[in-house]
Structure 1
Amino acid sequence: MDIRQLKYFVGIAEAGSLTEASRRLHIVQPALSQRLSDLERELGVKLVVRGRVGTALTPAGTELYERSKRILQQIDYAAAAAREKAGVVEGVITIGLLRSLSPLLSVRLFSEIRAAMPRVRPQIRVGYSAELERLLFKGDLDMATLVAAGAPEAGARGAAFSERLFIVGSRDVLRAVPRRPTLADVQPIELLLSPMQPAHRLVLEACERSGLDLRIVGGIEDLPSMLELCEQGVGATILSTFAARRAAQRTGLIALPIAESGLERHVRIALATDTGWSEAVLVGESILSRLLAESVKRS
Structure 2
Amino acid sequence: MDLKQLKAFLTVADTGNVTKAAEMLHLVQPAVSRQLRLLEEDLGQILFERERHGMALTEAGKSLVGYARRVMLELDRARTEMTGRTGNITGLVTIGLLPSTIDVLASSVVSTIAARYPGIRLRIAMGYAGTLLSWLDNGEIDAGLLYGVERSVNVESRPLIEEALWVIGQADAGLRPNRPTPLAKLSRHPLVLPSPSHGIRTIVDHACAKNKVQLNISVEVNALSVQRSLVHGGHGWTILPPIAVAEDLRSGQLTGSPLSKPNLARTIVLALPTNRETPPYVRHAISTLEECTKQAVMSGAWPQARWLGK
Is the CA contact (8 Å cut-off) linking 1:181 and 1:256 kept in structure 2? yes
SS at match of 2:206: helix
Residue 145 of structure 1 deviates from its aligned partner by 1.8
SS at match of 1:193: strand
Partners of 1:45 and 1:213 lie apart in 2 by 49
Give the structure 2 partner of residue 141 of structure 1: 141
SS at match of 1:39: helix
- Unaligned 5+ runs, structure 2: 304-310
Residue 265 of structure 1 deviates from its aligned partner by 0.8
Give the structure 1 partner of residue 241 of structure 2: 240
Taking the TM superposition and a 5 Å limit, the aligned residue runs for 1:199-278 are 199-214=200-215, 222=226, 224-225=228-229, 228=232, 237-243=238-244, 246-251=247-252, 255-261=256-262, 263-271=264-272, 276-278=277-279
SS at match of 1:267: strand
What letter corresponds to residue 229 of structure 2 in structure 1? S
SS at match of 2:194: coil
Is the CA contact (8 Å cut-off) linking 2:84 and 2:119 kept in structure 1? no
Partners of 2:243 and 2:200 lie apart in 1 by 12
Taking the TM superposition and a 5 Å limit, the aligned residue runs for 1:1-299 are 1-83=1-83, 86-90=86-90, 92-149=92-149, 157-168=157-168, 173-174=174-175, 179-184=179-184, 186-187=185-186, 190=189, 192-196=191-195, 198-214=199-215, 222=226, 224-225=228-229, 228=232, 237-243=238-244, 246-251=247-252, 255-261=256-262, 263-271=264-272, 276-297=277-298, 298=300, 299=303
Moved more, 267-276 or 139-148: 267-276
Partners of 1:284 and 1:15 lie apart in 2 by 31
Is the CA contact (8 Å cut-off) linking 2:133 and 2:150 kept in structure 1? no
Residue 129 of structure 1 deviates from its aligned partner by 2.0
Q: What TM-score results when the alignment is normalised by the length of structure 2?
A: 0.74
Partners of 1:226 and 1:43 lie apart in 2 by 45
SS at match of 1:213: coil
Partners of 2:181 and 2:199 lie apart in 1 by 20
Partners of 1:82 and 1:193 lie apart in 2 by 48
Q: Which entry has the higher C-alpha Rg, 1 or 2? A: 1
Name the CA shift for 1:78/1:92 in 2 (closer, same or farther; >3 Å). closer
Partners of 1:270 and 1:160 lie apart in 2 by 10
Partners of 2:84 and 2:98 lie apart in 1 by 30
Q: What TM-score results when the alignment is normalised by the length of structure 1?
A: 0.77
CA offsets per residue over residues 216-254 of structure 1, 9 Å max, x none?
676885354356468xxx975432142365554233865
Name the CA shift for 1:167/1:44 in 2 (closer, same or farther; >3 Å). closer
Partners of 2:229 and 2:285 lie apart in 1 by 32
What letter corresponds to residue 193 of structure 1 in structure 2? V
SS at match of 1:141: coil
CA offsets per residue over residues 238-285 of structure 1, 9 Å max, x none?
321423655542338654433445722121122456665344432222
Name the CA shift for 1:60/1:213 in 2 (closer, same or farther; >3 Å). closer
Partners of 2:280 and 2:118 lie apart in 1 by 13
Report how many aligned residue pairs link the two structures.
Answer: 290
CA offsets per residue over residues 27-74 of structure 1, 9 Å max, x none?
222122222222333333333332222223333333333223222322
